[in-house]
A and B are shown apart, each in its own frame.
Chain A
Amino acid sequence: MKVSVKYFASMRETMGKADDIADLNDGSTVNDLWANVATVPMVENTLIAVNMEYTNVDHVLVDGDEVAFFPPVTGG
């Protein structure tokens, strides 16, 4: 299955790109996705959204999901 990946703010600089497409095995989690796209461990305070809803590293992905990784937010 294929999922699209987005990186924001400092995470974009860390990854050296704004987005990715990852090809994963069925049943893969967000953790599995990170292992596929990154060469460094995920920073502890990284926030994760799947299809624009907050979730966690154990979230099981399905084909076509949009996954975003980003640092703690600073709006307002």
Chain B
Amino acid sequence: MKVIVKDGEFDPWKAVSDYQNENIADGKHGGSVTFIGSMRDFNDGVEGISNMYLDHYPGMTEKHIAHVINDAMEKWDVLDALVVHRVGNMRPNDAIVLVAVWSEHRAMAFDACRFIINDLKHRAPFWKREASDDGERWVEGNSIDAVADEHSDFNKH
């Protein structure tokens, strides 16, 4: 299991490929599910978003994500997982987050990947600040409770 929080561009497809080659034993996984979140140039009725700054709480961010991955690995029979989350300044189309999960069977990988990304969106301490022609604004936050509505299997911790 690995958590990377980094400032600067990353290639999510290369990150998945490199991690699998280095960490996942040949012939042991039957499925891998990957979620990649990318930056849009529109959000909540605002068009023409030209760049975004992603703030975070260093230390807690990594600790929280590792905790969530451990929860997922206990809940489902997951072989391994990788999360990469970008912080700092970024532009539309840039990858923001990667969640990759490897398991013996597809259902576990789908469920665990969804569980991890839902928690990241609702509980991991990141904050987006968007810039457009209308100026800059902090994106309105996600309710912690809302994650329960998105995934009935979600367990708070």
Contact = CB atoms under 8 A, between A and B. Distances in A.
Interface of A: 6, 8-10, 45, 47, 49, 52, 54, 68, 70-76
Interface stretch (B16-24, B103-111, B119-127): B119-127
Nearest to B97: A76
Contact of B126 (A49, A52, A54, A76): A76
B63 interface: yes
A49 B57 contact: yes
Contacts of B64: 52
Taking chain B's interface residues, is the majority helix, strand, or loop, or is none over half, making it mixed? mixed
B46 to A, nearest CB: 14
Contacts of B123: 54, 73
Given A10-B138, A49-B57, A68-B57, A75 B126 contact: yes
Interface string B107-151: 000000000010011111111110000000011111110000000
Given A70-B57, A75-B126, 7 more contacts: A9-B55, A9-B127, A47-B125, A72-B144, A73-B125, A73-B141, A74-B121
B144 A52 contact: no
A72 B128 CA distance: 11
What band does the interface of chain B fall in when counting residues whose beta carbon is under 8 Å from A? 20 to 34
5 contacts: A70-B127, A71-B127, A74-B126, A74-B127, A75-B124
Given A73-B125, A73-B126, A49 B142 contact: no
A1 to B, nearest CB: 21
A45 B144 CA distance: 10
B138 A76 contact: no
Contact of B138 (A6, A52, A71, A75): A71
Contact of B142 (A68, A70, A74): A74
Nearest to B128: A74
Contact of B127 (A8, A49, A52, A54): A8
Contacts of A76: 37, 96-97, 117, 120-121, 124, 126
